[in-house]
Amino acid sequence: MSLAIVGVNHKTAPIQVRERIAISRDQLPDVTRALAAWPGVTECIIVSTCNRVEFLAALDSPDIDLPSFLYNHFAIDPASLQPHLYQRFDHDAVRHLFRVAASLDSMVVGEPQILGQVKEAYAVARANGAVAGQLEHLLQSAFSAAKRVRTETSIGSNSVSIASVAVELARKIFGSLQGRTIFLVGAGKMSELAARHLVQQGAGSILVANRTIERARRMAEPFDGRVIPFEDLYGVASQADIVISSTGAPHPIFRREHGQAFMHRRRNRPMFFIDIAVPRDVDPEMNRLDGIFVYDIDDLQQVAAAHMAERSREASDAEALIEGEVERFRQRQRAVNVAPAIVALQRKAEEMRQGELRRLHARLASLSPEQSEALDALTRGLVNKFLHPPMKALKQAARENDSLRLDALCDVWSLPAVADPESGAEDAHEQADRAILEAEKAGDTSRAKEQAGKP
């Protein structure tokens, strides 16, 4: 079993590339099922945000060509996408996922939205039967690591988000935001967050348009905003000083001819478009018009970079914490790998114990039920005490990734070689933990009796 991540993000691909493989919330279940059905994929989740599209999969073999899924599903020429793709495998894939969930790989380090987006992707994958034991454990460990980063470091204090960066740009364009009219096009969470930041800075009335009128009403209500029917979008947009657009439309909804009409009606008063949609809602040609300022998600990165120096120490602390969590996960996986050998050792010893009791059955027939029970407990305790050292040695060698010692121990006891965990290995791991616990109890009981001078 192999683990792989393939994708693009704001560091490797411009928005013109990312928007070609962007997956909307409505499309995510279908694409997740398609990936789960790809030959060699046993489990998967897909994280698609404005800054990244990543495919995480458990594979039958490291030779499975995961990028081919992207080329085929999105009908993209490999030559145009391949230079922007990154791939991570096994340990590197685990580290990458942990860093993404902890917001250490985000455009704005420390922003809180990404963890929720990864959790949403996980929920969709689970609902569509694409997540089982291996990714379940991995994702829960990633969420736990991200929580530690948020609570044990200061990386999230005075948090900077894409929304707050957009507000900073708006302030530079207009000087003051007092009384400015905001038009939210699309009822996404990031649009709402941006609107909240703008209102906190003194912005005035809020207009909201969405293809689903009920969602527009829910968005407008907290702001005492006015709902605009989507079909009236172009007639009303010119009333807005700031347009925040995030619709999920496959093509731009604001084009150059719309901008020209807006400027005519506004008598060339400036108009600011914050395009946080991927694919983009605003045609870049709009930026060529005097008085119109268009910033897409990549443009916002330039402002976000100014905040990075302030977070360098907190990010360093968070990176160290994540490395510790990644190592803990690796040790856990190694223990899972060795679990079948530990269970096999216990099973072999138990078969020997039962065999000896059966061989002596005739000679023990005169024992009372109480004596038979005592004999059974005695022999089980002796076996557990005897197994305790080799089982601990196997787990210790697994944690330390000492393959030579593991092979030697398995060879001495004629145990199955330690390899990738089979399906159900997590259950085997729990069985191994119980076996060691029983052996430890047997050892402790024996020592206690010896110290008390009891037989």
Place of tokens 């996408």: 81
Buried b or exposed e, range 301-320, using 16+ CB within 10 angstroms: bebbeebeeebeebbeebbe
Which residue is catalytic, options 23, 46, 50, 155?
A: 50
Instruction: Answer whether 236's CB lies under 8 Å from 183's CB.
Output: yes
Q: Which of 435, 356, 358, 350 is nearest to 392 (CA)?
A: 435
Q: How far apart are CA 293 and CA 242, in angstroms?
A: 10
Amino acid, res. 109: V
Distance between alpha carbon 260 and the CA centroid of its chain, in Å? Answer: 42
Q: How far apart are CA 357 and CA 353, in angstroms?
A: 6
Q: How far apart are CA 81 and CA 97, in angstroms?
A: 22
Sheet holding 52-59, edge to edge: 41-48, 52-59, 2-9, 86-89
Q: Which of 10, 87, 108 is nearest to 51 (CA)?
A: 10
Q: How far apart are CA 206 and CA 321, in angstroms?
A: 42
Amino acid, res. 382: L
Instruction: Answer whether 260's CB lies under 8 Å from 240's CB.
Output: no
Q: How far apart are CA 114 and CA 146, in angstroms?
A: 10
User: Around Cβ 48, how many Cβ atoms within 10 Å?
Assistant: 24
Residue 44: active-site member = no
Q: Give the DSSP letter string of 126-151.
A: HHTT---HHHHHHHHHHHHHHHHHHH
Annotated catalytic residues are 50
